[in-house]
Each structure stands twice: as structure tokens, then as C-alpha cells.
Structure 1
Amino acid sequence: MFAFIDLFAGVGGIRMAFERQGGVCVFTSEWDVKAQETYEANFGEKPHGDIRTIEPEDIPDHDILLAGFPCQPFSLAGVSKKASLGRAHGFADETQGTLFFNIANILHAKRPRAFLLENVKNLRSHDKKRTYQTIMKVLKEDLGYTVYDEVLDAKGLVPQHRERIYIVGFRDPIKFEFPKLPEQGPPLRSILEEDVDDKYTLSDKLWEYLQAYAEKHRQKGNGFGFGLANLDGHSRTLSARYHKDGSEILIPQEGKNPRRLTPRECARLQGFPEGFKIVVSNTAAYKQFGNSVAVPVVSAIAEKMIEALDANRRIEIEGQDTVCKVI
């Protein structure tokens, strides 16, 4: 058994994955009140609010820190000034004012054995790569963790093309390998409900608008437009904006306009179990599942992380890079 904390928790997809590996959640934080409702309905506890208002010392000791944190640009002006004056600087100066700072601060204060951070694939290129470079410097050099990162596509485990970057770190120099996911997973039709209310079918006005919008951009040579799904393949990425018009994932229907996914289908698309309770409005549910993780992907990573911690195979660190020499 191991203890973990769940930061920027959303509706608990990452928590669910680590509980399946025998973990016990000892602290959770999520600022969105509607996500708190869903979280409490499914896990029996209401998350603490804004992590920026919580002192690291007030967080229980834990073995693993988990966070699907938002991406923000970092200002390095203060760092450059301090460097020019020959003064030392660290993560507090480099990341102050960003939500990543709160993660770094907790890692610094509590020194958990490991962490998992999840973010959009474009984190690597965000703010001309400065954001990612700063994150890696803080985690490796300032905090001294051995860090691994990889972009994984969920489509081998759920019927959705969903690329996310996962950053795994260990307090000790431990050897770790990300899971190898299948190339192709279940078809989209496998998560569809049999009887769907007509309210999910697009109105004539909206369907005509989406087609005209797509045609306008096609003539300009752009690829923007709706995504009419292949039921025998996988869908596009489900996003938090899905509640607006559902255009990125439309389900074809014989003899009528296409429809959007139901909230339950969105839950299935992210790999949530059938028993997961949806207690909020459709609009809130679409946002929550669009912001969530693909649970089976995180479960696969969690399994590999626990295996690595249990095996405790040490590696040597040379310079800035991790060289996997098992000791």
C-alpha cells in the first residue's frame, strides 16, 4: 500500500488509476465547484479548493504526487537579472506566479518518492519551449528528481486519438520505462449507447452552419471543420469545448442529422467505468470529461511506476541526462 495526493484533480481519473494499484489518496485539491460535486459523488470526499491557498506543510506526507496541471507561461526576467548579478536562483523565482510553482513547492517540502504530471502534448512547444525547459530544469536540477517523459496516444486502449505528455519522476535514481500501448484499440461503436434521446441530434440550423463553415475553410486550404466519426475506428480528441456544438466528434445517423456524444459515452470514451456517477448538467459533464484523462492509459503508467519503485533498480546519472546503468 502507498499514499498519494491528487492535485488539479478534476473528476478523479488519475486517482482512480492509482487506487487500482493499491494506493490510498490522503489529500486532493480541485478548484472547480462542479468538478468537486462529481468528485464527491464518486469518492465520498470533497476536494480542497485552490491549491494556491494551501501551505505545503499542511499537506499530509505521501509517497506519490499526482497532478494534471494547467499550462502557463513562465517569466524569466527576474532570473536573468539575478544571474547577471551573480546571485543564486531556484524554482521559486523561475516559476513564481504559475500553478507549476505550487507543485514544485510541494515536491520541495514533502519530498515524495515519485510523481506523475500530465499535460497536453503541446506543453513541449509552449511559449517557444521555455515553459517545458523551465519545468525540466526545476524538476531535475533544482529538486534533484530523476525524470522521464513521453507522449502517449490513448487510441490503443480507448477509441479516441488523445495524445498527452506524461512526466514521471523519482526521488532516487530509479530505472523506469513507460508502457508500450497497442497501436489500435476498440472501435468507437463499442462505447455507443443503443437508445439515444433526439436532443443529442444536431438541429438543421447547426448542421447547416457546421457544413458551411467547413466548406469555407476547405476553399481556403485549411483543415478546419467538423469531425464525422468512423464508427469502426477512433474519434478525434474530446475537448472541454465539446459542450458548445460537439463538432469534433459527431456520430453519423441513418436518415437524420448526426448527433453529439452523450455524457455517458464521453465517460466511456475516457475509460471511466459504467458505475461512475454523472451528477451535474450535460454542459458541466462535457467540460469535465473533456478535461479529464484517459483512465486506462494512466492505469498502465501507474502499474509501471509501482513496479519501478518496488524493484528499486538504481541508475547512474551523468551530467544532465539519465544514463540507464543498472546497479
Structure 2
Amino acid sequence: MKKTVCELFAGVGGFRLGLERLNSGWETVWFSQWEPGKKVQWAHDCYVAHFGDSKDLNGETSTTGNDIGTVDKKTIPDHNLLVGGFPCQDYSVAHTLASSRGIEGKKGVLWWQIRDTLIAKGASFCIFENVDRLLKSPAKQRGRDFGIILACLNELGYAVEWRVVNAALYGAAQRRRRTFIFAYKDTTKYSAEMKYKTPEQIIETDGFMAKAFPVKSLGEITSTSVDEDIVKVSDEFKFSFENAGFMRNGEVFTTRITEEEEDAVLLGKVLQSDVDEHYYLSGDVLSKWEYLKGAKKIPRTSANGHEYIFSEGPVAFPDPWDRPGRTMLTSESTLNRSSHVVEDPGTHRLRLITPVEAERLQGFDDNWTALGGMPERMRYFCMGNALVVPMITKMGNQLDQIIENE
């Protein structure tokens, strides 16, 4: 089996970089990156600056920067691994179709583009990344969205493992929790091997996720099943998914695991010294930051006239050097509570983090997003959207062994 990859929603190439760091022969045959509403596709251009463009089966390179919804999935080159960090959206099914596939998702929901790609190309293995709240959304029908994803994968002949991974517990510099989904076709040798494993064995010791991200302890396993009718799942399914689990033949098993911690990279280790003056905070701006980061109790009135007190606790100010960084958002470096404020190791003045430090928090090479003239604000935005690259390398180590056995 060839180590061929298709990368959807590629951003600036975190999946590809994570696999290529293994130097084990992974070849990305096609990728897709398109940011809605942007005149300049900075992330796509950064990706191409690092890796070059990819041709579809018609010999065209222009499709990699198009809306994936407009791409004919049959023109995507064959691949054995499909990867992508897709947005967390409302995955409910819009309506049934007369076609054999039976459903069509709401327009613009990108999960359906993954499903269409799997239908057209039938990758043997998949790794997808999403926010941790995917397992609990939407609030009014907890677990429905992830249930739809599992039902789709089951329909297409895949078994699935998932884990919510806190990157800081596995040697990264950021406390970033993300849901990783590993799916494999029931026609693979790997699937044949896993058929003899119990759900407990797969989740705790023998599965793909357990080997990539070792488990310290296992809670009680609960189970359910996903219906073959995906429309029914959309309308009725509700379940409390935990941070680890497994699905085979529509039977779902989940439990809360405790992660086996590795030494994290502390925030102080990624900081630069004596940075450019425009990153520093002073005067009225510093006062605004102090207010935003502090505790608050603010009287407010709701739309129906109800009066209440809005309260929020303090955020560490500045961010401590002796812990991994907090989760970075696309709004990083703008005036809000979630942006990091640090003490510069050289000047000891308070400042924002630099784009290079943002890249280090995500495990990218320094100045990764500087190629192609990307504006500084977009560099932060792209890092806020990115995944933690070393987590992909950890999973790639396991994939190397699986592909070798195939």
C-alpha cells in the first residue's frame, strides 16, 4: 500500500508537515484550501509556497484553491489516507434525496464534502480533526452531530476510533484540546486484526489512538448504536459521548479516559527576547488589557427586560512562563481576553506574543507563515485555525506501522 495522502481544509499545511517530519515516504497527491469571503487566499498561498501546488486528474492545479463544494470529487487523485481539520458546524440533514445515497446535508456544511470524497475515492484510512465540543453539539440534542458523522462512516464501511487530545499532555507547548477521529475500511488487514480485540482493549491499549496517545486509566464503558438511516439519526439521535471511544458495525462504545502525561513544553521556552517595539503594551492600552483580563460583575438587562449580573473570573495576567500556553484562537493578538500577554524575557515588559511564538505554540517551524508576504494579522489567524503539528507526527508513527503491515 502506497503512503498517499489527500489533505482537505489544509490551512497552511499542518497535517502534511506532521507526516513529512517522519521522513518515511508520505506523498500528498492533492490538497484543498479555500477561505470563504477572502479576496486573497493567504493560507492556500502559504501552503503552495512551502510544498508546491497539486494537479487533479484533469491536470489542473487551479482546483486546490477553489471552494471544495465546487470540486468534482472524481477528479481527485487516488489516495490511501484522507485527512482534514473540518469546521464544527450544524450537521443536521436538510432533506432526503431520491438517490441511492439518501441524504444531502445543509449547504456549506463541510462534513458532507468529506463524505462525498470518501464515496468517490474510498480511502482506506482517515484522520480528521475538530474542536472538542463536537462530541456534545448541539446543546438541544447532545451528541447528534458526532452521531451523524459516525453513521456516515458506518454506512461507508468504516470502523472508527476517537480521542479528545490535550496537546500539552503529550509534549506540546499549548493546552489545546481537539477531537481526533481515526477511521479505517473494513477491507483492510488492520480491520481484520482489530476484529479480535474488545472495545476495552482497543480504547485502552491496542487501538491506534491508545498507541499514539497512551492511556493512564479507563472509566466505565457505555454503549449505544447508530441507525443505518442517517436522516433518523439527525432527527432523533442523542447520546453522551466521552473523550474516547470506538465504533464497529454501528455499535458505539465510549468511556472517559485519563491521559498518560508526558513532559510539556513550557510557555517560557518558546518566547523570544527583546522583540520589536510594536508588540509591547503601555499606557491606556495596558489599562484596557488589565480590565479585560480581570474579574468583573456587570449589571445587564436582557431583551425581555430581565435584569441580571454578568460575571466572569480573572484570567492570568501575564500568562505564566511555567505552564504551556492557553488555547490560541484566530483572534490572537487582538484586544480580547483570550489573547496571550507575556513578560518579555529580555526587557521584562508586557507584550503580545509574536507570530513566530504563535507558530511555536502550534509546533510549526519559525516563520512558517511569513512566506508569500502574509500580513501579520493573517499569520495569527492562520495559527489560530491550525492544529498542533507534533500530534500528527505521533499519529503518523502508528500509521507507518499499519501501512507496512498492509
In the other structure, the counterpart of 1:211 is 290
Task: Label 1:77 to 1:180 Cα distance change in 2 as closer, same or farther (>3 A).
Answer: closer
CA offsets 1:239-286 (integer angstroms, 9 cap, x no match) = 111032374321124886521111011111111123735131110000
- 1:98 equivalent to 2:109? Answer yes
In structure 2, how many angstroms separate the alpha carbons of the residues matched to 1:97 and 1:277?
27
- 1:271 equivalent to 2:363? Answer yes
Task: Give 1:210 shift.
Answer: 2.5
Q: Partner amino acid for 2:273?
A: E
Which of 30, 34, 37 is the aligned partner of 2:42? Answer: 34
Which of 23, 28, 34 is the aligned partner of 1:25? Answer: 28
Task: Give 1:224 shift.
Answer: 5.8
Moved beyond 6 Å, runs of 4+: none
- 1:160 equivalent to 2:174? Answer yes
Q: Partner amino acid for 1:270?
A: Q
Q: Partner amino acid for 2:156?
A: L
2:383 match: secondary structure? helix
Unaligned regions of 5+ residues in structure 2, if any?
Answer: 36-40, 55-63, 195-206, 215-260, 299-309
In structure 1, how many angstroms separate the alpha carbons of the residues matched to 2:292 and 2:107?
41
In the other structure, the counterpart of 1:13 is 14
Q: How does 1:60-75 map to 2 (within 5 A)?
A: 60-75=77-92
Contact 1:3 1:25 in 2 (8 A): yes
- 1:250 equivalent to 2:263? Answer no
In the other structure, the counterpart of 1:2 is 3
In structure 2, how many angstroms separate the alpha carbons of the residues matched to 1:212 and 1:12?
36
In structure 1, how many angstroms separate the alpha carbons of the residues matched to 2:264 and 2:133?
24
Task: Label 1:91 to 1:71 Cα distance change in 2 as closer, same or farther (>3 A).
Answer: farther
Contact 2:266 2:325 in 1 (8 A): no
Contact 1:41 1:277 in 2 (8 A): no
In the other structure, the counterpart of 1:325 is none
Task: Give 1:185 shift.
Answer: 1.1
Which of 95, 104, 121 is the aligned partner of 1:110? Answer: 121
In structure 1, how many angstroms separate the alpha carbons of the residues matched to 2:349 and 2:269?
21
Q: How does 1:169-208 map to 2 (within 5 A)?
A: 169-172=183-186, 173=191, 175=194, 176-178=207-209, 179-180=212-213, 182-208=261-287
Task: Give 1:106 shift.
Answer: 0.6
In the other structure, the counterpart of 2:153 is 139
2:43 match: secondary structure? helix
In structure 1, how many angstroms separate the alpha carbons of the residues matched to 2:331 and 2:88?
17
Task: Label 1:215 to 1:273 Cα distance change in 2 as closer, same or farther (>3 A).
Answer: closer
Task: Label 1:296 to 1:61 Cα distance change in 2 as closer, same or farther (>3 A).
Answer: same
Task: Give 1:78 shift.
Answer: 2.7
2:265 match: secondary structure? coil
Contact 2:127 2:183 in 1 (8 A): yes
Task: Give 1:218 shift.
Answer: 6.0
In structure 2, how many angstroms separate the alpha carbons of the residues matched to 1:88 and 1:44?
38
Task: Give 1:30 shift.
Answer: 0.4
In the other structure, the counterpart of 2:385 is 291
Q: How does 1:111-126 map to 2 (within 5 A)?
A: 111-126=122-137
In structure 2, how many angstroms separate the alpha carbons of the residues matched to 1:227 and 1:90?
53
Task: Give 1:121 shift.
Answer: 0.6
In the other structure, the counterpart of 1:237 is 327
Task: Give 1:44 shift.
Answer: 2.4
Task: Give 1:227 shift.
Answer: 5.0
Instruction: Output the TM-score relative to the length of structure 1.
Output: 0.85
- 34-43 or 145-154: bigger deviation: 34-43
Task: Label 1:65 to 1:77 Cα distance change in 2 as closer, same or farther (>3 A).
Answer: closer
In structure 1, how many angstroms separate the alpha carbons of the residues matched to 2:336 and 2:281?
9
Contact 1:210 1:225 in 2 (8 A): no
In structure 1, how many angstroms separate the alpha carbons of the residues matched to 2:370 and 2:351?
20
Which of 122, 127, 130 is the aligned partner of 2:138? Answer: 127
Task: Give 1:152 shift.
Answer: 0.6
In structure 2, how many angstroms separate the alpha carbons of the residues matched to 1:166 and 1:145?
15
| Aligned-pair identity (%) | 28
Q: Partner amino acid for 1:186?
A: V
Unaligned regions of 5+ residues in structure 1, if any?
Answer: 313-327
2:381 match: secondary structure? helix
Q: Partner amino acid for 1:61?
A: D
**What's the Cα RMSD here?**
2.5
Q: Partner amino acid for 2:327?
A: T
2:318 match: secondary structure? coil
Contact 1:247 1:260 in 2 (8 A): no
**Count of aligned pairs:** 305
1:119 match: secondary structure? strand
In structure 2, how many angstroms separate the alpha carbons of the residues matched to 1:17 and 1:91?
36
In structure 2, how many angstroms separate the alpha carbons of the residues matched to 1:66 and 1:238?
22
